[in-house]
Amino acid sequence: MAAAGEPEVIRDKAAMRAWSRRRRAEGKTVVLVPTMGFLHEGHLSLVSTAANASAGAPVAVVVSIYVNPSQFAPTEDLATYPSDLAGDLRKLASTGAVHAVFNPPDLYVRGTDGSGGAAVSGSCLQEAAGGHETWIRVERLEVGLCGSSRPVFFRGVATVVSKLFNVVEPDVAVFGKKDYQQWRLICRMVRDLDFAIEIIGSEIVREADGLAMSSRNVHLSREEREKALSISKSLVNARTSALKNSNSASQHMKNQIAQTLSEAGGRVDYVEIVEQESLVPVDTIDRPVVICVAAWFGKVRLIDNIEIHPGS
């Protein structure tokens, strides 16, 4: 039993589902904030959004903390992904807005390695005999942007979010817009699979110097962090330019951003300007678009974006 003001920590899937059903029977709206832990102010802003998600009606806020192995490729940083459950629980308790934390030991059925032992899972779930084999794909929205360099990522995201939805059974779920492609992909999945869940996109939270908050920022050296500020600065400059010049050519703007990041010492993964809902690339900025950027600074891959609404 959690102390007064502290969220109840639930690890069992059946117990989590029963908890949500009790809250709904009490007339409350269940709101889920999915996270992978190592929480920062950006995550806490999602909690604040969740606490106010039901227009005055009582809410029951659930924060899930689960590092999802299926969205990491074998070459990616699952083993070094930062974790601090005790610190996360203190931060969530300090908000006074979180009622439960869902922290399952594993959300996947593990297969065997053929000799009767448990299959060894590297950075990505291995397809072993008797193990997890059902995946959800959002086929068009997962192509391009982060999907180009991380081919298993969105399959893993869509699948684990569906599992969380089936376990927690929320009425509302809150996702950060920093992971813009992920947010749009989840919206499309919910629409297509008829989940009775409202998806809220919460705005990016930034450090005082403009760097988008991320759990991976902790891995940046001081010098790398200073160089990484070129991402947000180039995005703000691009939006200012686009709003001044109607029908701006997207290719010229993409080249300028890429050059700025490279000159700052970054290794560009992509710079794309796409429609906000379809994520289809555009030639001119003559409709609502989003500029999406991914770049490496040192060994850390950072993503960021900025929406542009011409004429606004």
Q: Yes or no: say if 291 and 305 are a contact pair by the CB < 8 Å rule.
A: yes
Question: Which of 300, 297, 290 lies closest to 145, judged by CA?
Answer: 290
Kindly name the residue from 43, 99, 132, 219 that is annotated as catalytic.
43
Q: Yes or no: say if 174 and 53 are a contact pair by the CB < 8 Å rule.
A: yes
3-state SS class at 218: helix
- Sequence letter at residue 275: E
Q: Yes or no: say if 250 and 273 are a contact pair by the CB < 8 Å rule.
A: yes
Residue 195 to residue 187: CA distance in whole angstroms = 10
Angle at 136 between CA 17 and CA 154, to 5 degrees: 105
Q: Are strands 284-285 and 248-249 parallel, antiparallel or unpaired?
A: antiparallel
- Sequence letter at residue 280: V
What backbone torsions phi and psi does residue 140 show, to the nearest 5 degrees?
-85, -45
- Sequence letter at residue 291: I
Q: E-assigned strands of 67-121?
A: 100-102
Element (H, E) at 294: strand 289-297
Catalytic residue flag (residue 99) = no
Catalytic residues: 43
